């Protein structure tokens, strides 16, 4: 497809797209008196304009009701987490009983690993991707050590083929099959944080189950980015954060998915807390835990209301726009950014390598670029011109054209700045 990158052509693309209106729902950081080119929603999403009012509502109810706000607030705090079920189901492809918003991402990963990593006999190994997000690897390695294992022996880290940047699904399936009866768990990132590769989670789950292993995913870079069907895929568990594509603020609440087939299991170990106890008996202060019988049984504590008020604002925007429509727009924006980078490389002669898969089915709204011979100085030059992207060691510039608030005009401006910055740092 041939793209034009002049200002009028980009503006026409924006005007023709009805989802462009959602940009006005967010605060855009400024640079030199105009909107910066914000391409790092895969790291921290922008602030919804309605966020302040949502938090103010809860502050007012706290001031008015004190502790009685748990029952008398406009959104009673005792059941606050229930407000998120519809939005999370829409994004996760889940049944209402399978999702809950709670805690922080790595906290939730550890809680889920308590239940789903249960090494026994020779079945002790965990398979993950090489160069997994560091926090995931720390969690997996520490869980192995907690069970008296050795990460050097029990953690299988699958790397791409020599000369390639991303994993092939058939290689993942082969590695799972070869691990066979030694494999206890497959736990991978649904979208890889560094390369932006979107894994085939359905096929990976099927392969893990065929090998007799459990299967879970870290969806930090997938939730709100790519369509998910966790229930239909048969995924055992998943967790995610909400401060990236979900635009819920720094350090915002995480969420989990636990497949319905696990809810009634009595053989599944789980760390337990008050908010996982049956809601209709919670305030009877009974000594023995009675499970909620849903994913809520993995909850430990009551909701962080001020934090979660913003999360509700964001989920409502996703419900209004619809993830399928956002993904279609995201595909077009990402293709436009891909073409802009290729065009800048053609004009300047620079070696700009996109290491993210080029097929839309294998990526979301992220492109990772290696600018050979330029490296960090090019990233710094772009930053100085008002481009907010993301540098990831050792050599990648990550860019996320987020469909809720990025525009074709942003990308056309970025292409011009990329050309000028390449020339300035040669």
pLDDT beyond 80 at 132:
yes
Better-scored residue on pLDDT, 238 or 1: 238
How far apart are the C-alpha atoms of 75 and 144, rounded to whole Å? 41
Query: What residues form DSSP beta bridges with 126?
Result: 155, 185
pLDDT beyond 90 at 115:
yes
Q: Tell me the three state secondary structure of residue 385.
A: coil
Q: What's the whole-model pTM score?
A: 0.96
The pLDDT tens digits for 323-355 are 999 999 999 999 999 999 999 999 999 999 999
pLDDT at 324: 97
Which residues, including other chains, have CB under 8 Å from residue 423's CB and lie 6 or more apart?
Answer: 348
pLDDT beyond 80 at 313:
yes
Task: Output the CATH code of domain 7-35+323-425.
Answer: 3.90.1150.10
How far apart are the C-alpha atoms of 101 and 261, rounded to whole Å? 19
Q: How many CB atoms lie within 10 A of CB 103?
A: 21
Mean pLDDT, range 133-137, rounded to an integer: 97
Query: What are the phi and psi torsion angles at 139 (to 5°)?
Result: -65, -45
Identical fold at 7-35+323-425 and 54-320? no
Question: Which of 62, 81, 82 has its CA nearest to residue 72?
Answer: 62
The pLDDT tens digits for 80-113 are 999 999 999 999 999 999 999 999 999 999 999 9
pLDDT at 426: 86
Q: How many CA atoms lie within 13 A of 341 on its CB side?
A: 22
Q: Tell me the three state secondary structure of residue 13.
A: helix
The pLDDT tens digits for 198-248 are 999 999 999 999 999 999 999 999 999 999 999 999 999 999 999 999 999
The pLDDT tens digits for 164-184 are 999 999 999 999 999 999 999
| Cα-based distances in Å from 419 to 166, 386, 415 | 27, 14, 6
Q: What is the mean pLDDT of the chain?
A: 97
CATH architecture for residues 54-320: 3-Layer(aba) Sandwich (3.40)
pLDDT beyond 90 at 312:
yes
pLDDT beyond 80 at 148:
yes
- For residue 175, the surrounding DSSP H or E stretch is helix 169-179
Q: Tell me the three state secondary structure of residue 6.
A: coil
Burial of residue 31 (CB within 10 Å: 0-12, 13-18, 19+) is middle
pLDDT at 2: 76
Mean pLDDT, range 358-386, rounded to an integer: 97
Are 20 and 414 in contact by the 8 Å Cβ rule? The answer is no
Domain ranges for the chain: 7-35+323-425, 54-320
| Cα-based distances in Å from 320 to 30, 314, 327, 419 | 27, 10, 14, 37
Query: What residues form DSSP beta bridges with 128?
Result: 157
pLDDT at 1: 67
How far apart are the C-alpha atoms of 247 and 229, rounded to whole Å? 21
- Written as six digits, the tokens of 35 are 């909107």
Gyration radius of the chain over CA positions: 22
The pLDDT tens digits for 20-32 are 999 999 999 999 9
Is the sign of the CA dihedral 371, 377, 380, 382 positive or negative? negative
């Amino acid at each position: 497809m041939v793209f034009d990158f002049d200002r009028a052509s980009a503006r026409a693309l924006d005007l023709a797209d009805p989802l462009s209106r959602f940009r006005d729902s967010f605060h855009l950081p400024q640079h030199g008196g105009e909107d910066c080119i914000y391409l790092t929603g895969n790291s921290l999403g922008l602030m919804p304009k309605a966020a302040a009012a949502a938090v103010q509502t809860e502050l007012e109810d706290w001031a008015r009701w004190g502790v009685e706000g748990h029952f008398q607030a406009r959104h009673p705090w005792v059941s606050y987490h229930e407000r998120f079920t519809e939005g999370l189901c829409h994004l996760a492809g889940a049944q209402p009983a399978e999702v809950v918003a709670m805690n922080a991402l790595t906290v939730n990963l550890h809680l889920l690993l308590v239940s789903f990593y249960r090494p026994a006999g020779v079945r002790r190994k965990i398979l993950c991707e090489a160069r997994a997000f560091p926090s995931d690897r720390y969690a997996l390695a520490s869980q192995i050590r907690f069970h008296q294992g050795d990460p050097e022996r029990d953690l299988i880290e699958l790397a791409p083929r020599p000369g390639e940047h991303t994993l092939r699904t058939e290689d993942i399936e082969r590695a799972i099959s070869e691990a066979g009866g030694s494999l206890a768990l497959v736990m991978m990132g649904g979208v890889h944080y560094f390369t932006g590769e979107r894994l085939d989670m359905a096929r990976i789950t099927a392969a893990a189950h065929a090998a007799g292993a459990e299967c879970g995913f870290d969806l930090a870079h997938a939730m709100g980015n790519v369509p998910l069907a966790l229930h239909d895929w048969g995924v055992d568990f998943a967790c995610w954060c909400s401060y990236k594509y979900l635009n819920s603020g720094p350090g915002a609440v995480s969420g989990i998915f636990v497949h319905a087939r696990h809810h009634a299991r009595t053989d599944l170990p789980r760390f337990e807390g008050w908010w996982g106890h049956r809601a209709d008996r919670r305030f009877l202060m009974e000594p023995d835990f009675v499970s909620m019988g849903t994913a809520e049984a993995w909850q430990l504590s009551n909701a962080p209301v001020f934090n979660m008020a913003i999360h509700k604002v964001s989920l409502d925007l996703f419900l209004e726009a619809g993830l399928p429509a956002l993904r279609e727009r995201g595909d077009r924006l990402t293709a436009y950014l891909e073409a802009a980078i290729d065009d800048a490389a053609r004009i300047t002669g620079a070696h700009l390598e996109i290491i993210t898969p080029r097929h839309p089915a294998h990526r979301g709204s992220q492109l990772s670029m290696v600018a050979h011979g330029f490296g960090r100085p090019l990233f710094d030059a772009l930053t100085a011109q008002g481009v907010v992207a993301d540098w990831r060691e050792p050599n990648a510039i990550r860019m996320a054209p987020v469909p809720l608030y990025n525009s074709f005009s942003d990308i056309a401006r970025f292409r011009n700045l990329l050309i000028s910055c390449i020339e300035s740092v040669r």
